[in-house]
Amino acid sequence: KQEVTQIPAALSVPEGENLVLNCSFTDSAIYNLQWFRQDPGKGLTSLLLIQSSQREQTSGRLNASLDKSSGRSTLYIAASQPGDSATYLCAVRSLVGTDKLIFGTGTRLQVFP
């Protein structure tokens, strides 16, 4: 059974810092991995999708990497801003048997001015 864990659970940093959020999964047989952002009381916004054959994806100040063999992904946020404050969730889609996403526990990020 796939399990997805995110570390740290919460993070508070001053504006301008570069950040690394971690996601680990127990079954390396994944189809892809997706990073989401969730603002309080809101739905999810997709940030980046990494296919199992890819090593990384970049969008603006965000860079996500994937090491499938070790069951890890990282989300790198450069030059953090207060507007980046949100909960970040990673989710994996298994290679076989299902199209559903298995979500991690989330990292709650606060960037203060």
Partner 1 sequence: SAVISQKPSRDICQRGTSLTIQCQVDSQVTMMFWYRQQPGQSLTLIATANQGSEATYESGFVIDKFPISRPNLTFSTLTVSNMSPEDSSIYLCSAYLVQETQYFGPGTRLLVL
Regarding 99 and contact with partner 1 (CB under 8 A), the answer is yes
Regarding 11 and contact with partner 1 (CB under 8 A), the answer is no
The residue length of the chain stands at: 113
Among 14, 18, 42, 59, contact with partner 1 (rule: CB under 8 A): 42
Nearer Cβ to partner 1 (41/83): 41
- b/e per residue 19-54 (b: at least 16 CB within 10 A): bebebbbeeeebebbbbbbeeeeeeeeebbebeeee
Among 46, 59, 70, 110, contact with partner 1 (rule: CB under 8 A): 46
